[in-house]
Each structure stands twice: as structure tokens, then as C-alpha cells.
């Protein structure tokens, strides 16, 4: 699976699950955690989605608010573990 | 010199009239928190002093002087009155930490209505039960939260007005919806402030209960007397301070100390309306030269986790007093803060029902890291035996925290639930529901809750509420919810679930259930882990034995299992 495919899947999931206002535009670089779209509690469900989807295990020390702060950053993290 | 000067001396010579005198209040006078938080500061000659420095996403800034706050709250109050909102009507504030939330609360109080702040991350069902209990007349919100309100609107005939503060005209407004823009509205110079008295209701905060639905904690305008003085003596706000309370006004810390305590003491406060990020927080402190910082253990532990190196990138030398509330602050966090900031976080203890700080550490008083500190002057607190309700004399023995009623910000009742309110008092003591010990020097040491309520990241979650919501998921047959230990949040929600025939217990179902609860209740209530099991431990009469599951999660002794059904 290439980077673009992962990016698209993650973005689609974030919009479907976390966007409260359908008119809000969320892009690959939109701040998710610092922007208040995904809070620290909800980050757990996003991490679980990535782990289920890509059959990976992301260690807690890697799952920082900074690493989850945009679709692009999340994609970097996934690629690190998908290999 | 700190405002409290000397804790022991203050205890010896304390009377709440100290606060009344400073505020110029006499028994029987009109007392309106809205006026005290805006007009009074202007009348003291500080109309042009900065009251609120707000920063939103992307560094967008807004600044308000005390005169701006006065005018804007007049404007919101007048707008509400024009809709027909009257004194003692409940007006919900359902917004992120935008300026309209802070100023809106003052405007609501000015017209004698009751402010009902609710955490904007609440899902539609959590929102509904709270609005339904209060029979709320109006809700002030942002367009991003409108979908949740529209979803439950048909069930709320009493809700007459949905006020949207950032309507952009991109879609038509529906029945009962009305747009209001603070920036575009004509500022109102004068408003007839409703002559509320000491016992007039001011704020209705909702808190979770062990059984049943959340309880509406009713506070009154006289609560100001406690909130003002605790802000001065614990947080030590002084004339030139820049104060940052990180709490969301959807919860009591955000109103008692993020709005009332801050504005009534005339301090300049700053607000960051964005999610948590360690670097962003340090940058914010540096940019605004924050001097007094009131935060929460979860945030402090998250900062610890982010490491010490990034702290060196920022100039945080403006900080002079740090305080914490929400859950016990572990000793390591106090030691860490002294190492990296040169200051210890002063832990404080109180809850929604108490309205203001009850037990705390104070500027100038020796801190024992990990301790809650000592009772605020004027507060009689002890620990009592859970069976006899008599005070415990033995040093180090665990008992229920008990407080003598009578302080100004004590809740006056639970909304429509007087019976539960009365049950909070035993043998002349108010019981917050927590256990602690007291050492030989009079310091309190937190042990834990005395019930099943889960304190996650400083927010209380009812296992009952989560279990009820879980049963609405199509795959869930039975559920039991307990806490499990967590390094950052102290504890988090864990659910044990049995599933119906035809469903497969796998990771996808777990995620599906997690998201179901997150949207229905809130991210706080979402189980961070779901364990699928064949059957739940029950008594022979069919009651789920949560304590067995709790003990398993915490590695504790299971205790008596003689009543276990399949024992």
C-alpha cells in the first residue's frame, strides 16, 4: 500500500468519524489534535482504527498528540510500522 | 508578598466577611455575579484594563478590556431578553472556549437567568438528558455543534431558542434557530441588571452520579464570596498578573476560576482555545508572559511525558504561581515541576458541588508532594468513619472526607432531586464521596472515591450512564463498566461486554462500540478498552458485581464472593 492510499483512507475516516460540522474542510495538514477536532481521549479510537486497519501495533510512546496532529503525520507513523 | 500572607494566621482570624467587605457587599444587598465580573471592575477605574486575551486556532487573537466585557455582556443579556428569556430561565452554553462562552455567562447572569454550561464534546444523548432535566429555555452554541442539537430537538418542546454565534449563512436556519453575532451587534451601554440576591440561582452544573442520570448542581450568586477569596488566596491573583486557567467552562473549574474568580478579581486572563499540545502550551506561556497558571494533573503528566528538552526552547520565567485541580496530583509531578519550572504545582481539592476550593496547598505554606494540603480558612474539614459518621482521631487511618456545611459556594440542591441532595449529608457533615487520610501535621492525603464513579482526566464519568448507552448498541447483550489505571489520566473507562448471537467479538466490533459511545455520550465516556467475556459476574439475585471486575483491573484482592451467582 502506498503513501497516497494510506493518506486517503485516514482522511476519509477522520472526516467520517470526527468532523462535527459537515461544512468544515479537513485537509491532509489540518491540525487535528491541536485544532480540537480530535481530543486526547478520542485519539485512542483513532489509534485503534489504524492498528486494526493496517494490522500494526503502535507503542504508546509513539502515539503522542504531535504524531497524530494531522493526516500527513499519522500517515508517516503508519508507514513507519507497516514497513 | 502573597495575598494569603500566612496560612495559619488566616485560619485563626478568618471570617467570610473578609470577602464581603472587599467586594463591598452587605447581607441583604443585591449581589449579581455578572455585575461583579464587569461593571464593578470598570467602576473601580479599570475599564481599560485587559480582561481577556483570547487565542484560537492558527494564532487568531481577540482582546477584550473590562469595558468590552461590560458592553458585550450587556449586549448578550439584552438579546436574550428580546427573545423573551427571563430571570431563572435556564440558558445553556454549549460552545468551545470561544469569547462568547466567557462573556455569555456574564450576560446570562446579568438578566437573572441561570447559566447552564455544558462541555461541547458531549454527544447528543449526554446533551439531551441534561437539557431535559433542566427544561432549558435557550441554548447558545456554534454551528459545528448544531447537528447534535437538531438530532434531539423533537424531544425538547421546552427549548424555545437555539442561538448560533457564528452563523455564516451557508445553510438556512430552521425552526427555533436564530443567529447572533457579538461582533456585528450594536454594543449596549446600559442594561437593567436583575436584582439577584444572595440565594438567587446562578449556575447549574451537571455532574455524574453512581446511579441514575446526571445531577444538576444548583449554585447561587452568593457563591461569589467563596470564589473571589479562594482565587485571591490560593491562586494568588494580583494586580499585574497574567492568569491562565486551562479548564473548559463546560466544567466547574472553568466557571468558578476561569470566569467568576478571574473577572471578579479584575485580573487579566488569557485563554487558548485549541487542543492539547505541549509545545503550543509552552509557546502560549512565553507569548503572553503568563504568571499564574491553574491546570490539571492530566495535562501536567502529559507535559512530563513530552519531556524536559522542549521546555528549554521557551522562556517561561514569567511564571510565579502554579496550581492544579481535578484529581490528585502525584508527588512525581510536583517534584518534576519544581525541577523544570523552579516552582511546585500547588494541588487543590474541591468538586462541582462545593463550588470553590475546599482543601489546598497555599503560597508560602510548606508543600508535601502528593498531599492535597489543608482546609481553606473558614472550611471545617475532617475524615469520618464510614459506619458511624464520627470523626476519626487516629493519624493515618482512612476515612470519608467530610466538610461542615455553611460556606458561601456550597450547592443549594440538585435540580429536581432534593432526595439525593439530602443523602449527601450525614451526621451534620457534607460528604463529597472521597476517602483520604490526615497526617500529624493536618495535611490530607487522597486515597480514592468511595463509590463507582470514574475520575478520568479530572472528569467524573458514571459507569451506569455508560452501561446504559452500551445496551443501546445492537451487538451488546450485557455490560459492566469500571475504571482501569492509566499513567496520564489516572484512570480510564473500561467495559466488559457480552454480545448477542450473530455478532463476532473482534477488534472491529470493539472499535465500533467505542465510537458509538464516543458520539452518543462523550470522548471521556468512551471505553478505552472493551473486553468481551462470556458472562458477567453477578450476585444470585442477578446484580452485576462491578467490584470483582474493578479489583481485577487494579490488581486488588477480590474480597467476599459468597454471593457470586456461579461461585
CATH number at residue B473: 3.30.300.30
Name which residue leads in pLDDT, B59 or B62.
B62
Q: Are residues B346 and B386 in the same domain?
A: yes
Q: Which residues have C-beta within 8 Å of that of residue B126, sequence separation ≥ 6?
A: B214, B465, B520, B521, B522, B525
ipTM entry: 0.93
Over range B512-528, report the average pLDDT: 95
Tens digits of residue pLDDT in B139-196: 999 999 999 999 999 999 999 999 999 999 988 999 999 999 999 999 999 999 999 9
Over range B390-398, report the average pLDDT: 93
For residue B144, list chain A residues with Cβ-Cβ distance below 8 A: 20-21, 24
B528/chain A closest Cα distance in angstroms: 7
B359: left (phi over 0), alpha (psi -120 to 50) or beta: beta
**HSE-up of B18 (CA within 13 Å, CB side)?**
17
The span from the CA of B509 to the CA of B378, in Å, is 53
Give the alpha-carbon dihedral of A40, A43, B215, B73, to 10 degrees: 50
**HSE-up of B488 (CA within 13 Å, CB side)?**
16
Return the pLDDT at B84.
98
- Please give the model's pTM, rounded to 2 decimal places: 0.92
Complete DSSP assignment for B426-492:
ETTEE--SEEEEE-TTS-EEEEEESSS-EEETTEEE-HHHHHHHHTTSTTEEEEEEEEEEETTTEEE
Over range B305-330, report the average pLDDT: 94
Return the pLDDT at B567.
46
Residue of A nearest to B305 (CA): A61
For residue A54, list chain B residues with Cβ-Cβ distance below 8 A: none
Over range B512-529, report the average pLDDT: 96
Whether pLDDT at A65 is above 80: yes
The span from the CA of B229 to the CA of B366, in Å, is 21
- Express as a percent the part of chain B with pLDDT over 90: 88
Q: Are residues B23 and B53 in the same domain?
A: yes
Which residue of A33, A34, A45 is in closest CB contact with B526? A45
Return the pLDDT at B259.
98
Which residue of A21, A34, A48 is in closest CB contact with B511? A48
Cell of B494: 473500561
Q: Does residue B90 fall inside a structural domain?
A: yes
B518 contacts A23? CB cut-off 8 A: no
SS3 assignment for B152-171: HHHHCCCCCEEEECCCCCCC
**pLDDT range class, residue B566, cuts 50, 70, 90:** low
A36 contacts B511? CB cut-off 8 A: no
Over range B388-392, report the average pLDDT: 97
B518 contacts A49? CB cut-off 8 A: no
Q: Are residues B383 and B461 in the same domain?
A: no
Q: Are residues B263 and B385 in the same domain?
A: yes
Q: Which residues have C-beta within 8 Å of that of residue B108, sequence separation ≥ 6?
A: B34, B76, B77, B80, B91, B93, B114, B115
Q: What is the CATH number of the domain that holds B340?
A: 3.40.50.12780
B57 contacts A34? CB cut-off 8 A: yes
Cell of B131: 437539557
* Averaged pLDDT of chain B: 95
Cell of B215: 445531577
B207: left (phi over 0), alpha (psi -120 to 50) or beta: beta
For residue A39, list chain B residues with Cβ-Cβ distance below 8 A: 121, 275-276, 523
B528 contacts A34? CB cut-off 8 A: no
**HSE-up of B85 (CA within 13 Å, CB side)?**
33
Q: Are residues B15 and B113 in the same domain?
A: yes
Give, for B125, the enclosing helix (H) or strand (E).
helix B124-134
B144/chain A closest Cα distance in angstroms: 4
Q: Are residues B328 and B415 in the same domain?
A: yes
For residue A50, list chain B residues with Cβ-Cβ distance below 8 A: none
Cα B209 to Cα A12, B120, B227, B328: the distances in Å are 37, 20, 24, 20
Residue of B nearest to A49 (CA): B511
Whether pLDDT at B476 is above 60: yes
Over range B208-225, report the average pLDDT: 90
Which residue of A23, A36, A45 is in closest CB contact with B514? A45
User: How far from chain centre, in Å, is Cα B387?
Assistant: 30
Whether pLDDT at B23 is above 80: yes
- Express as a percent the part of chain B with pLDDT over 70: 99
Return the pLDDT at A20.
80
Tens digits of residue pLDDT in B304-317: 988 999 999 999 99
Give, for B516, the enclosing helix (H) or strand (E).
helix B507-520
A33–B contact, CB cutoff 8 A: yes
Out of B255-259, B286-290, B547-551, least confident range: B547-551
Q: Are residues B473 and B501 in the same domain?
A: yes
For residue A31, list chain B residues with Cβ-Cβ distance below 8 A: 57, 274-275
B429-430 and B425-426 beta bridge pairing: antiparallel
Q: Are residues B234 and B314 in the same domain?
A: yes
Q: Does residue B441 fall inside a structural domain?
A: no
Q: Which of residues 438-457 of B touch A (CB under 8 A)?
A: 456-457
A62–B contact, CB cutoff 8 A: no
The span from the CA of A33 to the CA of A68, in Å, is 7
Instruction: Say how many domains are in chain B.
Output: 2
Among B436, B471, B503, residue at a domain's last position: B436
Do residues B107 and B130 make contact, with C-beta atoms less than 8 angstroms apart? no
Q: Does residue B559 fall inside a structural domain?
A: no
Q: Are residues B138 and B256 in the same domain?
A: yes
SS3 content of chain B, % helix, strand, coil (to 5): 30, 25, 45
> A3-82 in CATH: which number?
1.10.1200.10
B146 contacts A21? CB cut-off 8 A: yes
Return the pLDDT at B17.
98
Return the pLDDT at B213.
83
Phi, psi angles (nearest 5°) of residue B90 = -90, 130
Q: Are residues B286 and B325 in the same domain?
A: yes
**pLDDT range class, residue B350, cuts 50, 70, 90:** very high
What range defines the domain where residue B538 resides? 454-554
Among B436, B464, B493, residue at a domain's last position: B436
Q: Are residues B397 and B519 in the same domain?
A: no
The span from the CA of B337 to the CA of B324, in Å, is 11
A33 contacts B277? CB cut-off 8 A: yes
Q: Does residue B203 fall inside a structural domain?
A: yes
For residue A62, list chain B residues with Cβ-Cβ distance below 8 A: none
The span from the CA of B283 to the CA of B40, in Å, is 33
The span from the CA of B302 to the CA of B475, in Å, is 35
Cα B255 to Cα B108, B119, B358: the distances in Å are 13, 12, 16
B457/chain A closest Cα distance in angstroms: 9
A64–B contact, CB cutoff 8 A: yes
Mutate to test the interface with A, among B275, B461, B506 (most CBs of A within 10 A): B275
Cell of B236: 494568588
**HSE-up of B289 (CA within 13 Å, CB side)?**
4
B526–A contact, CB cutoff 8 A: yes
Q: Are residues B246 and B360 in the same domain?
A: yes
Strand partners, B530: B495
Q: Which of residues 462-521 of B touch A (CB under 8 A)?
A: 488, 507-508, 510-511, 514-515, 518
B147–A contact, CB cutoff 8 A: yes
- Where are chain A's structural domains? 3-82
Residue of B nearest to A69 (CA): B277
Comparing CA positions, the residue from B448, B454, B464 lying closest to residue B492 is: B454
A27–B contact, CB cutoff 8 A: no
Over range A15-33, report the average pLDDT: 87
Task: Classify B95 as helix, strand or coil.
Answer: coil
Mutate to test the interface with A, among B246, B523, B527, B531 (most CBs of A within 10 A): B523
Q: Does residue B1 fall inside a structural domain?
A: no
Amino acid at each position: 500500500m502506498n503513501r497516497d492510499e494510506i493518506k486517503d483512507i485516514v482522511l476519509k475516516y477522520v472526516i467520517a468519524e470526527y468532523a462535527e460540522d459537515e461544512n468544515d474542510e479537513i485537509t491532509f495538514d489540518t491540525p487535528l489534535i491541536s485544532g480540537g477536532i480530535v481530543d486526547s481521549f478520542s485519539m485512542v479510537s483513532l489509534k485503534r482504527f489504524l492498528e486494526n486497519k493496517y494490522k500494526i501495533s503502535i507503542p504508546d510512546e509513539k502515539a503522542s498528540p504531535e504524531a497524530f496532529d494531522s493526516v500527513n503525520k499519522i500517515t508517516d507513523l503508519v508507514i513507519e510500522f507497516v514497513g | 508578598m502573597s495575598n494569603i500572607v500566612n496560612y495559619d494566621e488566616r485560619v485563626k482570624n478568618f471570617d467570610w466577611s473578609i470577602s464581603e467587605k472587599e467586594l463591598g457587599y452587605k447581607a441583604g444587598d443585591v449581589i449579581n455575579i455578572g455585575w461583579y465580573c464587569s461593571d464593578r471592575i470598570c467602576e473601580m477605574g479599570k475599564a481599560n484594563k485587559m480582561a481577556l486575551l483570547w487565542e484560537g486556532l492558527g494564532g487568531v487573537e481577540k482582546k477584550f478590556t473590562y469595558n468590552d466585557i461590560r458592553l458585550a455582556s450587556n449586549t448578550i443579556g439584552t438579546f436574550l431578553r428580546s427573545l423573551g428569556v427571563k430571570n431563572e430561565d435556564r440558558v445553556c452554553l454549549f460552545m468551545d472556549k470561544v469569547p462568547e462562552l466567557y462573556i455569555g455567562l456574564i450576560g446570562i447572569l446579568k438578566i437573572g437567568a441561570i447559566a447552564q454550561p455544558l462541555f461541547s464534546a458531549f454527544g447528543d444523548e449526554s446533551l439531551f438528558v441534561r437539557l431535559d432535566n433542566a427544561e432549558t429555555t435557550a441554548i447558545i452554541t456554534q454551528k459545528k455543534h448544531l447537528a447534535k442539537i437538531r438530532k434531539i430537538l423533537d424531544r425538547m418542546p421546552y427549548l424555545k431558542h437555539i442561538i448560533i454565534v457564528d452563523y455564516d449563512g451557508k445553510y438556512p436556519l430552521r425552526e427555533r434557530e436564530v443567529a447572533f453575532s457579538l461582533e456585528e451587534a450594536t454594543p449596549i451601554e446600559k442594561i437593567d441588571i436583575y436584582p439577584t440576591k444572595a440565594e438567587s440561582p446562578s449556575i447549574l452544573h451537571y455532574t455524574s452520579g453512581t446511579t441514575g442520570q446526571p445531577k444538576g448542581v444548583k449554585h447561587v450568586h452568593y457563591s461569589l464570596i467563596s470564589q473571589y477569596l479562594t482565587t485571591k488566596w490560593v491562586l494568588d491573583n494580583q494586580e499585574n498578573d497574567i492568569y491562565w486557567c486551562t479548564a473548559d467552562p463546560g466544567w466547574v473549574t472553568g466557571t468558578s476560576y476561569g470566569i467568576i474568580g478571574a473577572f471578579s478579581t479584575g485580573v487579566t486572563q488569557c485563554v487558548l482555545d485549541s487542543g492539547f499540545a505541549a509545545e503550543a502550551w509552552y509557546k502560549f506561556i512565553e507569548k503572553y508572559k503568563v504568571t499564574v497558571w491553574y491546570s490539571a494533573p492530566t495535562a501536567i503528566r502529559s507535559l512530563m511525558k513530552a519531556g524536559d528538552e522542549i521546555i528549554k526552547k521557551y522562556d517561561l520565567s514569567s511564571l510565579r504561581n502554579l496550581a492544579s485541580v481535578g484529581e490528585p496530583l502525584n508527588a512525581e509531578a510536583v517534584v518534576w515541576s519544581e525541577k523544570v519550572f523552579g516552582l511546585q504545582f500547588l494541588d487543590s481539592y474541591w468538586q462541582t458541588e462545593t463550588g470553590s476550593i475546599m482543601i489546598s496547598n497555599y503560597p508560602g505554606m510548606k508543600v508535601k508532594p502528593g498531599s492535597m494540603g489543608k482546609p481553606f480558612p473558614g472550611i471545617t474539614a475532617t475524615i469520618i468513619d464510614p459506619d458511624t459518621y464520627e470523626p476519626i482521631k487516629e493519624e493515618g487511618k482512612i476515612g470519608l472526607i467530610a466538610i461542615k456545611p455553611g460556606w458561601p459556594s456550597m450547592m443549594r440542591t440538585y435540580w429536581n432531586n432534593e432526595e439525593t441532595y439530602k443523602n449527601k449529608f450525614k451526621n451534620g457533615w457534607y460528604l463529597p464521596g472521597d476517602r483520604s487520610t490526615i497526617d500529624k501535621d493536618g495535611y490530607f492525603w487522597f486515597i480514592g472515591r468511595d463509590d463507582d464513579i470514574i475520575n478520568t482526566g479530572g472528569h467524573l464519568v458514571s459507569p451506569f450512564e455508560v452501561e446504559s448507552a452500551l445496551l443501546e448498541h445492537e451487538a451488546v447483550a450485557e455490560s459492566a463498566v469500571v475504571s482501569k489505571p492509566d499513567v496520564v489520566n489516572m484512570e480510564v473507562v473500561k467495559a466488559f461486554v457480552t454480545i448477542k448471537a450473530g455478532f463476532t467479538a473482534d477488534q472491529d466490533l470493539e472499535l465500533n462500540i467505542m465510537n458509538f459511545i464516543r458520539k452518543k455520550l462523550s470522548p471521556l465516556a468512551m471505553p478505552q478498552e472493551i473486553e468481551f467475556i462470556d458472562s458477567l459476574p453477578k450476585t444470585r439475585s442477578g446484580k452485576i458485581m462491578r467490584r470483582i471486575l474493578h479489583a481485577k483491573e487494579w490488581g486488588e484482592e477480590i474480597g467476599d464472593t459468597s454471593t457470586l451467582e456461579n461461585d
